[in-house]
Structure 1
């Protein structure tokens, strides 16, 4: 696994962790971020490169700073 894929996987795991802490499903997070659930699934599985805007939206939705979201 290359470094880029490793980072995508770590980010996905961090989002899952934070989402579970809120008791949210993937659909819940998708709805709050105005995204389709497939986008969240792909992000959590490390299959996509999220935009900075999406990361900011997810951090706001999960109630953490952007720094906390990517601090893994």
Structure 2
């Protein structure tokens, strides 16, 4: 699942650590979500959307695959 988390985080001027603290998760969780290696739980996805003032669909696109690096 592709996501725009890195873009939204950068636009808001947040580090991965700062976003992790706001979302009550580890920095490693944020890194894994940004790289497409981990799909967040529904409650976490809603919490992230709330942090950025948008919908889950604005962050995550389940129809797009992440290209392996």
> TM (normalized to structure 2)?
0.78
More strand by share: 2
Structure 1: stretches of 5+ with no match in the other structure? 1-6
1:15 is aligned, of 5, 12, 29, to 5
Q: Taking structure 1 as reference, are residues 70 and 33 closer, same or farther at Cα in structure 2, changes over 3 Å only?
A: same
Task: Point out which structure has higher relative CO (alpha carbons under 8 A, 6+ apart).
Answer: 2
**Displacement over 3 Å in runs of 4+:** none
> TM (normalized to structure 1)?
0.75
Structure 1 residue aligned with 2:59: 69
Looking at structure 1, the residues matched to 27 and 8 of structure 2 have their Cα atoms a distance apart, in angstroms, of 16
- How many correspondences in the alignment? 62
Structure 2: stretches of 5+ with no match in the other structure? 65-69
SS at match of 2:36: coil
